[in-house]
Amino acid sequence: MSRERDAFLDACRTVGPRAVSACPGWTTHEVAAHQAAACAEVVRHVRPHRAGEPVPATRSFAEREAPYLALPFDHLLDSVVAEEERMQAVIGAVLDDEPQAVVPWTGPRMAVSAFRTHLRGEFALHRWNLVGDDATGASLLAGPDLTAHGLAELGTILPRAGAAADPGDPLRVALRSPGAEDVVVEVTAADDAAGRSATGRAGARLRRPGEGETVPVGLELDAASRLLVLWGRRPARPGVSRLSSGTLRRVQHLLAGY
C-alpha cells in the first residue's frame, strides 16, 4: 500500500462518486475505475513474466476499466485496495528473484520496480484531479522521484498533443523548483532529407548532470506545482515567469496534457 493510495481513497469518499474530476468527462467513479484497472493491468503483465510466459499486449483503457465501471461505488473502492495490494505482492515476488526485471508496457518497456512509483504518481495526480490544491496534495506531489519517473517514461509523450499545433521553432527553457534538478522543456528542429525544417520534436527531461549548455530559466515554481504543470494541469500556484507572454503561452500550450 502507499500513502498516495490511501489519500486518494479518502478524497474519493469525501467528494462522492458523482463529483466532477479535472479529467474531462470523468467523475470520481471513472477515476477510481481507472486506478483499479491500472493496478490490475500491471499484474496482468508482471505475473506472466514471473511464470516465464509471454506477456500480453496492454489493453485499452475502455477494455480494462469496463468491469470496474459496472461496480457500485463502495465495491469499486474496495477493488482499488484489493488490486493495489495484489499488484504490490506480485511486484515484490518478482523483485525478490529478479531486481532488474523489465516487461513490455504500452509500447515501450517498463522496469518492474518502476510500477510502484508509476502508480504512486497516478494516485497523487488523480487525487488532485478530485480535490485540487491542498497541503496533502502538495506533500504527495513534491517527491522528486515522481517527477523523475514521469519524465523518464513520458518525457516525449507529455507534450505530444500540444506539439501538434506548435510552430516547431527551436525552444529550450527550464522549469526550476527550489532544491531540485531543473526540468528542461524543449523543441528541437527536425530536418527532412533535403535539409528543410520539418515539424519540431518536443520533449521534457531532467537537466543532464554536467550539461554544458546554458538553459535559461523560464518558470520558477514549487515542486508539486511543477509536476502538475508538466501533466497539463493548472495549479493555484502556477509559478513566476521570466518568459515573454508569447513564449509563456507556447510553453503552456505544449504542456496541455495528453
Q: Please name each of the domains of the chain with its CATH number.
A: 3-141 (1.20.120.450), 160-254 (3.30.1050)
Q: Confidence band (pLDDT; 50, 70, 90) for 193?
A: very low
Q: Confidence band (pLDDT; 50, 70, 90) for 194?
A: very low
Phi and psi angles of residue 189, each rounded to the nearest 5 degrees, phi first: -65, 135
Place of cell 511486484: 91
Closest CA to 74 of 44, 41, 36, 125: 36
pLDDT greater at residue 134 or residue 208: 134
pLDDT per residue over 61-106, tens digit each? 999 999 999 999 999 999 999 999 999 999 999 999 999 999 999 8
Could you tell me the sign of the dihedral formed by the alpha carbons of 198, 201, 207, 210, in that order? negative
Q: Confidence band (pLDDT; 50, 70, 90) for 189?
A: confident
**How much is the pLDDT for 187?**
95
The sheet with strand 183-191 has its strands ordered as 197-206, 183-191, 171-176, 217-220, 240-241
Give, as one character, the DSSP assignment of residue 20: B
Closest CA to 253 of 158, 149, 112, 124: 158
Dist CA 143 CA 213 (whole Å): 26
pLDDT per residue over 115-153, tens digit each? 999 999 999 999 999 999 999 999 999 999 999 999 998
Residue spans of alpha helices (H) in the chain: 3-15, 28-51, 61-69, 73-97, 114-131, 135-141, 144-154, 160-163, 223-230, 245-254
pLDDT greater at residue 137 or residue 198: 137
The fraction of the chain above a pLDDT of 70, given in percent, is 93
CB 17 within 8 A of CB 130: no
Q: Which residues contact 211 (CB under 8 A, 6 or more apart)?
A: none
Question: What is the maximal distance between C-alpha atoms in the chain?
Answer: 60
**How much is the pLDDT for 213?**
67
Average pLDDT over all residues of the chain: 93
Q: Model pTM greater than 0.85?
A: yes
Phi and psi angles of residue 193, each rounded to the nearest 5 degrees, phi first: -60, -25
Dist CA 86 CA 84 (whole Å): 5
